[in-house]
Amino acid sequence: MVKFDPQRPDFSPYGFTCVRWAPSPMPRPDHHNEIELNLLHTGSVTYLLGGQKVRVEAGQLNAFWAAIPHQIIAYSGDIEYFVATIPLAWFLQCKLPSRLTEPLMRGEVLSETVGPRLPLDLAMFAQWQDDLEKEGHEARSIVMLEMEARLARLAARLPETTAKNTRASRLSLQKGGLNKVELMACIVAQRYTEPLNVAGISQEVDLHPNYAMNLFKKVFGTTLVDYITHHRISHAQRLLATTDEKIVEIAFASGFNSVSRFNEAFRRACGCTPREYRNGHVVAESIE
């Protein structure tokens, strides 16, 4: 079984993996640029993901983008569970429905109660683990096809997006465009606490700012500016829930250049002030 290594570098990739994971309270959040799938047979695990507590239950398949800071803060019982990681570039190139990709890239956790499919899913994850431990392109290719099919099945259980043309737009993108979008997302995920703007990001990926913004919105269903703000708000939520730092310090540590801008963005995103959020979301790190 695998446990979290607190010494691993931030954003160090896991790659295509499927392992049995032993939960333990994590001393710091993990970040890596893969889509992560969790499948529990028994018990539960509670993450602090971004700034929200998310409880992963047995009998559910859960997916989230692991570039969002995620940290195990509690778990029930003596359990192990499957964790699969899927590189973002490959995930985007699968051209899965927007009702799956867009919420994941906004930092949401998607869950499917698998019900009678649980034994099948457990057997499939175990097979993925065995195959990925082997050397050879053929076994890996089979796992990639099965992962894509399982993600498509998850997408089919989600409600339709209200955006009519998102999928058609995404299907017109070439691999080079997707690589540019992935790079933009990585820049934001790794450096959102810095003075980051559209002009600087588009220059780094060698695109005109207007084209970069349009390309980004086609894939992720949100603007690049809103995406940066989302990451900053999630960072602030985590600090408000887990530290005693002053709110003004949290504002600047999260990448905002003024307290008034922070308060405005936070209230718009969360429906409350940072102080109100802190009072209602204090996290006690414990084992259930």
pLDDT of the chain along its 288 residues, tens only? 888 998 988 778 898 999 999 998 898 888 888 999 999 999 999 998 877 889 999 999 999 999 888 899 999 877 889 999 998 878 887 888 888 988 888 788 999 999 999 999 999 999 999 999 987 788 889 999 999 999 999 999 987 754 433 333 333 344 455 578 878 888 888 889 999 999 999 999 999 999 999 988 877 777 899 889 988 998 898 888 888 999 999 999 999 999 999 999 999 988 999 999 888 876 544 434
Q: How far apart are CA 52 and CA 247, in angstroms?
A: 18
DSSP codes joined into one string, 92-160: HHT---HHHHHHHHTTPPEEEE-GGGHHHHHHHHHHHHHHHHS--HHHHHHHHHHHHHHHHHHHHTSPP
Q: Which of 156, 188, 204 is the last residue of a domain?
A: 156
Does 161 map to a domain? no
Give yes or no for a contact between 38 and 45, defined as CB atoms under 8 angstroms apart.
Answer: yes
pLDDT in tens, 77-86: 778 899 999 9
Q: Which tokens belong to 138?
A: 């053929």
CATH number of 279's domain: 1.10.10.60
Q: Which tokens belong to 189?
A: 């995920």
Does 5 map to a domain? no
If asked whether residues 210 and 280 sit together in one domain, one would say yes
Range of the domain at 108: 17-156
pLDDT in tens, 265-274: 999 988 999 9
Give yes or no for a contact between 32 and 66, defined as CB atoms under 8 angstroms apart.
Answer: yes
If asked whether residues 141 and 180 sit together in one domain, one would say no
If asked whether residues 112 and 198 sit together in one domain, one would say no
Does 10 map to a domain? no
Q: Which of 156, 181, 202 is the last residue of a domain?
A: 156
pLDDT at 287: 39
How many Cβ atoms are within 10 Å of 87's Cβ, its own excluded? Answer: 18
pLDDT in tens, 179-238: 788 788 888 888 899 999 999 999 999 999 999 999 888 777 778 998 899 889 988 988
If asked whether residues 151 and 234 sit together in one domain, one would say no
Q: Which tokens belong to 14?
A: 């896991």
If asked whether residues 33 and 150 sit together in one domain, one would say yes
If asked whether residues 29 and 130 sit together in one domain, one would say yes
pLDDT at 177: 53
How many domains is the chain partitioned into structurally? 2
If asked whether residues 188 and 282 sit together in one domain, one would say yes
If asked whether residues 223 and 261 sit together in one domain, one would say yes
If asked whether residues 150 and 179 sit together in one domain, one would say no
Helix or strand (DSSP H, E) at 90: helix 88-93
Query: Phi and psi at residue 115, in whole multiples of 5°?
Result: 55, -125
If asked whether residues 122 and 77 sit together in one domain, one would say yes
pLDDT at 178: 58
CATH number of 25's domain: 2.60.120.280
Q: What single-letter DSSP state applies at residue 9?
A: P
